[in-house]
Amino acid sequence: MINLKKSKKKEYKLVYDNIVLIGFMGSGKTAVGRTLSKKLFKDFVDVDAVIEAEQGCSIAEIFEKKGEAYFRTLEQKCINELTSKKGQVIATGGGVPIHSTISDKSLIVYIDADFDVIVERLSARERAKRPLFDDEQRARALYDARIDTYKELATYSVDANQVIPTFIHMIVDYILDKRVL
Protein backbone atom coordinates (compact mmCIF):
# COMPACT_ATOMS: atom_id res chain seq x y z
CA MET A 1 0.00 0.00 0.00
CA ILE A 2 1.27 3.46 -0.85
CA ASN A 3 1.66 5.76 2.10
CA LEU A 4 0.34 8.98 0.61
CA LYS A 5 1.32 11.08 3.58
CA LYS A 6 4.92 9.96 3.29
CA SER A 7 5.26 10.47 -0.46
CA LYS A 8 3.66 13.90 -0.24
CA LYS A 9 6.14 14.92 2.40
CA LYS A 10 9.03 13.74 0.24
CA GLU A 11 7.81 15.72 -2.75
CA TYR A 12 7.52 18.85 -0.64
CA LYS A 13 11.08 18.42 0.59
CA LEU A 14 12.34 18.69 -2.97
CA VAL A 15 11.27 22.30 -3.24
CA TYR A 16 13.96 24.81 -2.37
CA ASP A 17 13.80 28.54 -1.76
CA ASN A 18 17.04 29.54 -3.45
CA ILE A 19 19.99 28.16 -5.37
CA VAL A 20 23.22 28.66 -3.43
CA LEU A 21 26.49 28.28 -5.30
CA ILE A 22 29.46 27.09 -3.27
CA GLY A 23 33.06 26.35 -4.18
CA PHE A 24 36.63 27.45 -3.77
CA MET A 25 37.83 30.98 -4.54
CA GLY A 26 38.04 31.59 -8.25
CA SER A 27 35.99 28.55 -9.28
CA GLY A 28 33.56 30.81 -11.17
CA LYS A 29 30.61 31.10 -8.76
CA THR A 30 29.87 34.73 -9.63
CA ALA A 31 30.09 34.29 -13.40
CA VAL A 32 28.03 31.10 -13.24
CA GLY A 33 25.47 32.68 -10.93
CA ARG A 34 24.89 35.65 -13.19
CA THR A 35 24.17 33.52 -16.26
CA LEU A 36 22.25 30.85 -14.35
CA SER A 37 19.93 33.43 -12.80
CA LYS A 38 19.04 34.77 -16.26
CA LYS A 39 18.39 31.30 -17.64
CA LEU A 40 16.13 30.43 -14.70
CA PHE A 41 14.48 33.88 -14.43
CA LYS A 42 15.75 34.35 -10.88
CA ASP A 43 17.40 37.29 -9.15
CA PHE A 44 21.16 37.16 -8.76
CA VAL A 45 22.99 38.14 -5.56
CA ASP A 46 26.60 37.79 -4.57
CA VAL A 47 27.45 37.60 -0.85
CA ASP A 48 30.83 39.35 -1.22
CA ALA A 49 29.30 42.16 -3.30
CA VAL A 50 26.49 42.68 -0.74
CA ILE A 51 29.04 42.86 2.09
CA GLU A 52 31.25 45.30 0.17
CA ALA A 53 28.27 47.54 -0.60
CA GLU A 54 27.08 47.48 3.02
CA GLN A 55 30.53 48.13 4.47
CA GLY A 56 31.55 50.64 1.81
CA CYS A 57 34.92 48.97 1.25
CA SER A 58 36.50 45.93 -0.40
CA ILE A 59 36.79 42.45 1.13
CA ALA A 60 40.59 42.89 1.16
CA GLU A 61 40.18 46.09 3.21
CA ILE A 62 37.82 44.39 5.66
CA PHE A 63 40.37 41.59 6.18
CA GLU A 64 43.15 44.13 6.63
CA LYS A 65 41.38 46.57 8.95
CA LYS A 66 38.98 44.37 10.93
CA GLY A 67 40.36 40.85 10.50
CA GLU A 68 39.02 37.58 9.16
CA ALA A 69 36.84 36.74 12.19
CA TYR A 70 34.90 39.98 11.75
CA PHE A 71 34.45 39.23 8.04
CA ARG A 72 33.04 35.79 8.93
CA THR A 73 30.38 37.34 11.18
CA LEU A 74 29.35 39.60 8.29
CA GLU A 75 29.13 36.58 5.99
CA GLN A 76 26.84 34.65 8.35
CA LYS A 77 24.56 37.66 8.79
CA CYS A 78 24.47 38.22 5.05
CA ILE A 79 23.67 34.61 4.08
CA ASN A 80 20.95 34.51 6.77
CA GLU A 81 19.33 37.64 5.40
CA LEU A 82 19.57 36.52 1.79
CA THR A 83 18.16 33.04 2.41
CA SER A 84 15.21 34.49 4.33
CA LYS A 85 13.96 35.56 0.88
CA LYS A 86 13.14 33.30 -2.09
CA GLY A 87 13.74 32.94 -5.80
CA GLN A 88 17.40 33.92 -6.01
CA VAL A 89 20.64 32.48 -7.26
CA ILE A 90 23.14 33.28 -4.49
CA ALA A 91 26.90 33.18 -5.12
CA THR A 92 28.83 32.72 -1.88
CA GLY A 93 32.43 33.40 -0.93
CA GLY A 94 34.56 30.26 -0.73
CA GLY A 95 34.57 30.34 3.08
CA VAL A 96 30.81 30.45 3.61
CA PRO A 97 30.25 26.66 3.77
CA ILE A 98 33.14 26.37 6.25
CA HIS A 99 32.38 29.26 8.58
CA SER A 100 28.62 29.76 8.21
CA THR A 101 25.44 27.73 8.29
CA ILE A 102 23.39 27.75 5.09
CA SER A 103 19.60 27.39 5.29
CA ASP A 104 18.52 23.82 4.52
CA LYS A 105 15.85 25.23 2.21
CA SER A 106 18.65 25.98 -0.26
CA LEU A 107 19.55 23.93 -3.31
CA ILE A 108 23.31 23.89 -2.89
CA VAL A 109 25.35 23.55 -6.07
CA TYR A 110 29.07 22.87 -5.67
CA ILE A 111 31.17 24.33 -8.48
CA ASP A 112 33.82 21.63 -8.42
CA ALA A 113 37.02 22.79 -10.11
CA ASP A 114 40.52 21.37 -9.55
CA PHE A 115 42.98 23.68 -7.83
CA ASP A 116 45.25 23.81 -10.88
CA VAL A 117 42.35 24.83 -13.10
CA ILE A 118 41.47 27.60 -10.65
CA VAL A 119 45.06 28.87 -10.61
CA GLU A 120 45.07 28.98 -14.40
CA ARG A 121 41.76 30.88 -14.53
CA LEU A 122 42.59 33.51 -11.92
CA SER A 123 44.24 36.64 -13.28
CA ALA A 124 46.74 38.52 -11.10
CA ARG A 125 44.09 41.19 -10.54
CA GLU A 126 41.53 38.64 -9.37
CA ARG A 127 44.08 37.07 -7.03
CA ALA A 128 44.90 40.43 -5.47
CA LYS A 129 41.26 40.81 -4.42
CA ARG A 130 41.53 37.62 -2.36
CA PRO A 131 43.62 37.89 0.81
CA LEU A 132 43.60 34.11 1.31
CA PHE A 133 45.06 33.56 -2.15
CA ASP A 134 48.20 35.68 -1.86
CA ASP A 135 50.29 32.63 -1.03
CA GLU A 136 49.58 29.83 -3.53
CA GLN A 137 50.87 27.04 -1.30
CA ARG A 138 48.64 28.14 1.56
CA ALA A 139 45.71 28.45 -0.81
CA ARG A 140 46.29 24.88 -2.00
CA ALA A 141 46.32 23.63 1.59
CA LEU A 142 43.08 25.51 2.25
CA TYR A 143 41.57 23.94 -0.87
CA ASP A 144 42.56 20.44 0.30
CA ALA A 145 41.11 21.11 3.74
CA ARG A 146 37.80 22.38 2.38
CA ILE A 147 36.78 20.12 -0.50
CA ASP A 148 35.23 17.40 1.66
CA THR A 149 32.92 19.94 3.31
CA TYR A 150 31.90 21.35 -0.08
CA LYS A 151 31.09 17.84 -1.32
CA GLU A 152 29.16 16.89 1.80
CA LEU A 153 27.01 20.02 1.72
CA ALA A 154 26.19 19.88 -1.98
CA THR A 155 22.78 18.86 -3.24
CA TYR A 156 24.44 18.69 -6.64
CA SER A 157 28.12 18.88 -7.63
CA VAL A 158 29.06 19.93 -11.11
CA ASP A 159 32.40 19.24 -12.77
CA ALA A 160 33.70 22.74 -13.35
CA ASN A 161 36.94 21.74 -15.09
CA GLN A 162 35.37 22.56 -18.42
CA VAL A 163 34.26 25.77 -20.08
CA ILE A 164 31.65 27.65 -18.09
CA PRO A 165 28.78 27.51 -20.66
CA THR A 166 29.00 23.70 -20.71
CA PHE A 167 28.64 23.20 -17.03
CA ILE A 168 25.97 25.87 -16.69
CA HIS A 169 23.89 23.71 -19.03
CA MET A 170 24.48 20.75 -16.73
CA ILE A 171 23.19 22.72 -13.73
CA VAL A 172 20.12 23.91 -15.64
CA ASP A 173 19.42 20.36 -16.84
CA TYR A 174 19.69 19.04 -13.29
CA ILE A 175 17.32 21.65 -11.91
CA LEU A 176 14.73 21.27 -14.65
CA ASP A 177 14.96 17.48 -14.64
CA LYS A 178 14.49 17.20 -10.88
CA ARG A 179 11.81 19.91 -10.85
CA VAL A 180 13.16 21.21 -7.60
CA LEU A 181 12.47 24.90 -8.10
* Residue in 93, 108, 115, 154 binding ligand S3P, rule: CB under 6 A: 93
Residue 5's φ and ψ, nearest 5 degrees, are -55, -45
Distances from the Cα of 92 to the Cα of 29, 164, 167, angstroms? 7, 17, 18
Q: According to the binding rule CB under 6 A, does residue 59 interact with ligand S3P? A: yes
Choices 12-20, 33-41, 88-96, 104-112 (CB under 6 A): range interacting with ligand S3P: 88-96
Give CA 125 to chain center in angstroms: 21
Give CA 172 to chain center in angstroms: 16
Nearer to ligand S3P, 31 or 180 (CB): 31
Nearer to ligand S3P, 45 or 59 (CB): 59
**Distance in Å, CB of 5 to ligand S3P, minimum:** 41
Nearer to ligand S3P, 63 or 180 (CB): 63
The answer to whether 89 and 140 have CB atoms below 8 angstroms apart is no
**Distance in Å, CB of 79 to ligand S3P, minimum:** 11
Q: How far, in Å, CA of 83 to CA of 36, rounded?
A: 17
The answer to whether 122 and 30 have CB atoms below 8 angstroms apart is no
* Residue in 19, 20, 25, 107 binding ligand S3P, rule: CB under 6 A: 25
Q: According to the binding rule CB under 6 A, does residue 94 interact with ligand S3P? A: yes
**Distance in Å, CB of 95 to ligand S3P, minimum:** 3
Rg, C-alpha atoms of the chain? 17
* Residue in 35, 50, 131, 153 binding ligand S3P, rule: CB under 6 A: 131
Q: According to the binding rule CB under 6 A, does residue 111 interact with ligand S3P? A: no
Contact residues: ligand S3P, CB under 6 A: 25-26, 29, 48, 59, 93-95, 130-132
